Amino acid sequence: MSLTEKPELPSAVLSDTVLATLAPAFPAGAVDELRGRVHGPVYVAGDDGLAAEVATWNVAVQHTPAVAVGATCAADVAAAVSWAVAHDLRVAVQATGHGPVRNAAGSLMVTTRRMQGVQIDPERRTARVEAGVKWARVLEAAAEFGLAGLCGSSSDVGVVGYTLGGGMGSLGRQYGFAADHVHAVEIVTADGRLRRLTADAEPELFWAVRGGKGNLGIVTALEIELVPVTGLYAGGIFFAGDDAPALLHRFRQWAPMLPEHISSSIALLRLPDLEFLPPPLRGQTVVHLRFASAGPDEAEAERLLAPMKEAGRIVLGYVGPIRTTEMDSIHMDPVDPMPAFEKGLLLTDLTEEAVDALLAAAGPQLDVPVIMVEIRLMGGALGRPAAVPNAVPGRSGAFAVYVIGPGVPELAQVVPAVVGGVVGALAPWRAAETMINFLGDVSGPGEVRAAYPPETLTRLRAVKAAVDPAGIFTFGHAI
């Protein structure tokens, strides 16, 4: 596609320098006008505070927008989008900074972290959540009523971005993707309109935005279904890294036999020698088993867990009763910003040969710059269509694999090759689809498009052409 076709311009195949030159100059008075139309702060290139406003959690990606608007409400978002269109700027959005794909150079970036409204309706079992809210606030508010949202492995992640990309968490095998439980979407589209989407109001756009990520506009709020969870039997166990072959082979046989109310994953971790880690884990390569049972029978959960506990030497860990507000203890994801290079894929099966191939590419016997290789069990409700259909890909996967390497400049050439080698080793078992939130670093829109089934992509691009014909929203996971 040529550089004159607007929707493809922000592809990662273009350098950040080229992208920055695509943004037209605009007079200072125009920025003053924008400041007069929004309640939140406005920054332009060179302003103190711009870098902090657009800072990412994955610090391997640094945004350099032409303008940044710190939105405080949906009206701010609408004003910012309208102003960007009038001044020929493409639009990017960021809430918590956990999912950057590439530098949104030369854009108008809307940051939504100031939009913090959360309203729980315990009778309807729903929550209305504004664009900047993290899962931790929703879990805390819902727990008062014995309810929970379908949070992922970390409650530090924003609700909106996670959900629009599908959203697979520790309750996913029982309830499905988070996007399957969205009742309404409030979104500002390229025409500057704030729309409320439901299965009955603009159903085609409602279908597309749940799975279409940020391609169709800026979501200012979601109304999501909450699920009843009175307790969990969950946690994580760290095993000695030398036992990785036995543990991974046991996992491939054990995990598919689990009932749907149980979710599990296993990860090979190379941990740094840092003081914040418990002494048994510092500087070690370990295997981390994650386990969550939402069933009422704790004895059954312990019985099902026993074969894995017997498969290796336990270094540290706990699995037992936890509250829904303590679900971060299952995966123990990092909480501080870090540079990372990430890639993900889905597998149709986890065979003996697949495990051997993974161990040959990233096993504990190797000195490679790979922080984590995780294998998550899918299936259950994750493999079934949503009650209200959506564009979320990935339901054909039996397992999800996610690989993370250090995204530091010194290893900029090495890490992508090593991580790519791990992903490539699993190619014979790769599913046709990929979950959007698990794509990690992408080479461009072509890689994003390949994540969807062909019929879903065709329909999604038709909706995109209808609501954003000029390609205003072409950063992030652009199609």
CA 244 – CA 237 distance, rounded (Å) = 13
Lowest mean pLDDT among 110-124, 190-204, 433-447: 433-447
Query: Looking at 111, 136, 171, which one is the last position of a domain?
Result: 111
Q: Which of 462, 476, 398, 479 is nearest to 433 (CA)?
A: 398
Question: Is a pLDDT exceeding 80 seen at residue 25?
Answer: no
Side chain identity, residue 94: Q
CA 372 – CA 286 distance, rounded (Å) = 10
- In terms of domains, do 106 and 210 share one? no
Q: Would you say residue 352 lies in a domain? A: yes
Place of tokens 């910012």: 80
Q: Would you say residue 474 lies in a domain? A: no
Q: Would you say residue 222 lies in a domain? A: yes
CA 31 – CA 46 distance, rounded (Å) = 13
For position 159, what pLDDT does the model report?
98
Average pLDDT over residues 397-419: 96
For position 15, what pLDDT does the model report?
43
Average pLDDT over residues 433-443: 93
Please state, as a whole number, how many other Cβ atoms lie within 10 Å of the Cβ of residue 41. Answer: 17
- In terms of domains, do 210 and 338 share one? no
Largest CA distance in the chain: 69
CA 150 – CA 125 distance, rounded (Å) = 13
pLDDT classification of 442: cutoffs 50, 70, 90: confident
Q: Which of 43, 123, 27, 110 is nearest to 75 (CA)?
A: 110
Question: Could you tell me the residue range of the domain that residue 48 belongs to?
Answer: 6-111
For position 296, what pLDDT does the model report?
85
CA 134 – CA 27 distance, rounded (Å) = 36
R_g over Cα of the chain: 22
pLDDT classification of 10: cutoffs 50, 70, 90: very low
Q: Which of 386, 71, 347 is nearest to 210 (CA)?
A: 386
Task: Indicate the number of domains in the chain.
Answer: 3
The pLDDT tens digits of the residues spanning 30-75 come to 999 999 999 999 999 999 999 999 999 999 999 999 999 999 999 9
The pLDDT tens digits of the residues spanning 451-464 come to 999 999 999 999 99
Q: Which of 267, 258, 244, 454 is nearest to 344 (CA)?
A: 267
Average pLDDT, the chain: 93
Side chain identity, residue 451: A
Q: Would you say residue 475 lies in a domain? A: no
Question: Is a pLDDT exceeding 70 seen at residue 168?
Answer: yes
- In terms of domains, do 278 and 186 share one? no
For position 26, what pLDDT does the model report?
77
Question: Is a pLDDT exceeding 70 seen at residue 447?
Answer: yes
- In terms of domains, do 207 and 88 share one? no
CATH number for the domain spanning 74: value is 3.30.43.10
Average pLDDT over residues 75-98: 96
The pLDDT tens digits of the residues spanning 354-399 come to 999 999 999 999 999 999 999 999 999 999 999 999 999 999 999 9
- In terms of domains, do 429 and 295 share one? yes
pLDDT classification of 24: cutoffs 50, 70, 90: low
For position 102, what pLDDT does the model report?
86
- pTM of model > 0.75: yes
- In terms of domains, do 314 and 365 share one? yes
- In terms of domains, do 386 and 404 share one? yes
CA 470 – CA 439 distance, rounded (Å) = 25
The tally of CA atoms less than 13 A away on the side-chain side of residue 30 is 16
